[in-house]
Amino acid sequence: MGTNSFDVVIVGAGPAGIFAALELSRHPHLRIVILDKGDDIDRRTCPLRERGGTCRHCQPCAVLNGWGGAGAFSDGKLTLSPAVGGHLAAILGETQAAELIRYVDDLYRQFGAPEKVHGIYTDEIEDLEKRATLAGLHFVYVPIRHIGTEHCVDLMRAMRDALLARGVTIRPRTEVAAILTDNGQVHGVETRKGEQIEAAAVILAPGREGAAWLEKTAKQLKLTLASNPVDLGVRVEVPAPVLEPITRLVYESKFIYYSAAFDDQIRTFCMCPYGEVSTEFAGDVMTVNGHSFAEHRTANTNFALLVSKNFTEPFNDPIAYGKSVARLANLLSGGILVQRLGDLEAGRRSTPERLSRSIVRPTLPSATPGDLNLVLPYRYVIDILEMLHALDEIAPGVASRHTLLYGVEAKFYSNRLQLTPAMETEVAGLFACGDGAGVTRGLIQASASGVVAARTILSRL
């Protein structure tokens, strides 16, 4: 067997790729290589995250690419239910999806995730469900294990070291250009530098950042794709005591609302108690995000409000639509725009002077005061305002005039590949998993999908 020949090639070193490798490497006779266009975990540095730093538009973006994927710099929320975070329950069934989540969760704990689980069902949570119903909200109960932003890197580093000790080859800064096939069977990959790496099985796990690359690759291979919706909205920041009665119970609350004006679905996402608002890049556009530390607290809690939107003929490119809105926000603000809710409802822009009078001190000081009415479509603004006032009924203060709204937040879920329950594509031996394949939307289910692909390969090899 030559130096460029392996049993399995894994493209992408995010949670899906890492957990596929952890499962495969339990069998020491297999030769496994992980390729990623980003850097190793110890070399992933972002100038923007340094005190007083600015974005230098590094290529590839160190926040989203490299060992650990975007999860390495997330706040590490492990949602321990198949009801949230992807489509595994629909693909595999509720029972198998739940079993996989338990298995993956155990592995996370072995590598350093904390034992504590937030959101154990109590009478108080039952009361919260009732109050949400009266406010026109659907509350999705999800137990969560929170790793914390400052601990995610250590956990991912421990996984890397374990895989190296098992003999897995890890090659950062190695971008894959093409998938090699013959008569409907995969036989390896070709890197951007023209190197061919042979393998009987290939797992594509490029993550959300690699969604465009995977879509292009799928079209070249004539694989079947289905469009996922784009989620577009704002990140909301309030004083932590406003949501503390809820975050104390469930840490991250999931509420779904259908607007009276347009019957659109709006949902809360990625709630960060006592956290910070942050930024990230999706290709050439800057979007807003949030995270929470395990051992460091701010005075605020932030969360996203996202409007889900599908498109049909003649336009069917939700990612391009979402990026165009985000690009407009970047154009008007130089990056991320922030506005007080009171100013938005009054139809005026926020200014530095008006922002200084707010009781909420922004945790993203680089955000530029402005007017979201000039960025978001009218329909989205109305949806978001309705949702905020519905939330205010169960958490008074959410719809305060001092509440800060950052824009825009966008989740570009990639086009969903047609896969078997084994995560195999229409090309034999070619598997796809994780957020990049459009089947998951979070750490746990992405990791679990990697395990599914690995187990299928093991059953054949």
Q: For residue range 150-193, what is the model confidence (pLDDT) as tens digits?
A: 899 999 999 999 999 999 999 999 999 999 999 999 999 999 99
pLDDT of residue 114 exceeding 60: yes
CA distance 269 to 424: 29
More confident residue, 366 or 48: 366
pTM, full prediction = 0.84
Name residues whose C-beta falls within 8 Å of residue 6's C-beta, 6 or more positions apart in sequence: 31, 32, 33, 169, 197, 198, 199
DSSP state of 424: B
H/E segment holding residue 319: helix 318-333
Please compute the mean of the pLDDT values over residues 11-23 and round it to a whole number.
97
Confidence of residue 69 (pLDDT cuts 50, 70, 90): confident
pLDDT of residue 1 exceeding 50: no
Confidence of residue 2 (pLDDT cuts 50, 70, 90): very low
Go through the domains of the chain in sequence order and give each one's CATH number: 5-112+147-226+416-460 (3.50.50.60), 123-144+229-411 (no CATH)
Please compute the mean of the pLDDT values over residues 319-347 and round it to a whole number.
95
Predicted local confidence at residue 48, as pLDDT: 62
Mapped onto helix, strand or coil, the DSSP state of residue 453 is: helix
- Pick the closest to residue 17 from 405, 395, 432 (CA basis): 432
Average pLDDT, the chain: 92
Name residues whose C-beta falls within 8 Å of residue 226's C-beta, 6 or more positions apart in sequence: 415, 416, 418, 438
Q: What percent of the chain has pLDDT over 90?
A: 73
Mapped onto helix, strand or coil, the DSSP state of residue 345 is: helix
